[in-house]
Amino acid sequence: MSSELTITAVTVLCLLGVALYGLLTVRNLFQVIIALQILVKGALIALVLAGKISGQINLGQSLAVTVIVADTIVAVVGLALAVQVKRYTGSLDVKNLSTLRR
C-alpha cells in the first residue's frame, strides 16, 4: 500500500475509534447523534478506500453517495426526535428516555 492509502486507513481507524468512544461514553442525545455521524463518515471513507484498493473506484463512490443519502435521513430524523425528547422531558440525557415507556 502506498503512503496515502496508509494515511487514509489510519484516519478511518481514528474516526471509528473516536466515534465508538463517543457512543459508549456520552449521555447527551445530540452528542450521541454526532458520534453516530462520525462513525458513518469513517465507514464511508473506508468504503471509498476499499473501492480504490480493489480497482472499482466507481462502485465505491456510488455506494458512498447512497450511504450519504441514508445518513442524512438518519441525522434529520434523529435530530427531530431529539428536539421532541427535549420538549417532552426537558432534558437531553439518554437516561431519561426510559421515562417515555408506559
pLDDT tens per residue, range 58-68: 998 999 999 99
**What residue ranges do the domains of the chain occupy?**
3-93
For the segment 57-95, what is each residue's pLDDT rounded down to a tens digit? 999 899 999 999 999 999 999 999 999 989 988 888 888
CATH number corresponding to 3-93? 1.10.287.3510
pTM score: 0.86
User: Above 80 in pLDDT, residue 98?
Assistant: no
Give pLDDT, residue 100: 64
- Residue range 2-16: mean pLDDT, rounded: 91
CA distance 38 to 85: 22
